[in-house]
Amino acid sequence: MPANRPSKLLLEIAPVWAKDIYRDDLPDKRIGQLESKEDCLIGESYGFDAGYGVDTIDPTMSSEFCKTCNNYGYKIWDHALRGGLREDMGRARRAAEAFTRHFDRVHRKKKGAAS
Ligand SMILES: [Zn+2]
């Protein structure tokens, strides 16, 4: 049985989206933002930087391309877009939670390297 509230990890990584993705009445405008690499849940995790989704070296982006993150971004948007359907928002939430575990494991490691 999936939880109906964001995990601690999701709240830490993307606090704004953590709350919104668990809403059953997510506004269309907000769902539209899931299509934006910068404004979506993954983008928020990177500090609203879209570099994880750009498969070329772009000096204006601070994050590096990550195919896995990019795929999660697409998945979450795709599920949420089918929208209104509880079942699909559940899938979007599960993808969001799975993403945070990937992000925590792969992209936050460096921070803790000093300890
Ligand atoms: Zn990644």
Q: How far is CA 112 from its chain centroid?
A: 21
Q: How far apart are CA 36 and CA 46, in angstroms?
A: 13
Q: How far apart are CA 49 and CA 66, in angstroms?
A: 12
Tell how far the Cα of 108 is from the centroid of ligand 1, in angstroms: 10
Q: Rg of the chain over CA atoms, in angstroms?
A: 14
| Number of alpha carbons in the 13 Å side-chain half-sphere of residue 25 | 0
Tell how far the Cα of 70 is from the centroid of ligand 1, in angstroms: 7
Tell how far the Cα of 39 is from the centroid of ligand 1, in angstroms: 16
Residues 6 or more apart whose CB falls under 8 angstroms from that of 74 comprise: none
DSSP string over 51-99: GGG--S--TT--SPP-HHHHHHHHHHHHHHHT-S-HHHHHHHHHHHHHH
Tell how far the Cα of 49 is from the centroid of ligand 1, in angstroms: 13
Q: Where are the domains of the chain?
A: 8-109
The CB-based long-range contact list for 29-32 (8 Å cut-off, 24+ gap) reads 31/77, 31/80, 31/81, 31/83
What is the pLDDT tens value at each position of the chain, 115 positions in all?
456 899 999 999 999 999 999 987 888 899 999 999 999 999 999 999 999 999 887 778 788 899 999 999 999 999 988 866 667 888 999 999 999 999 999 998 655 444 4
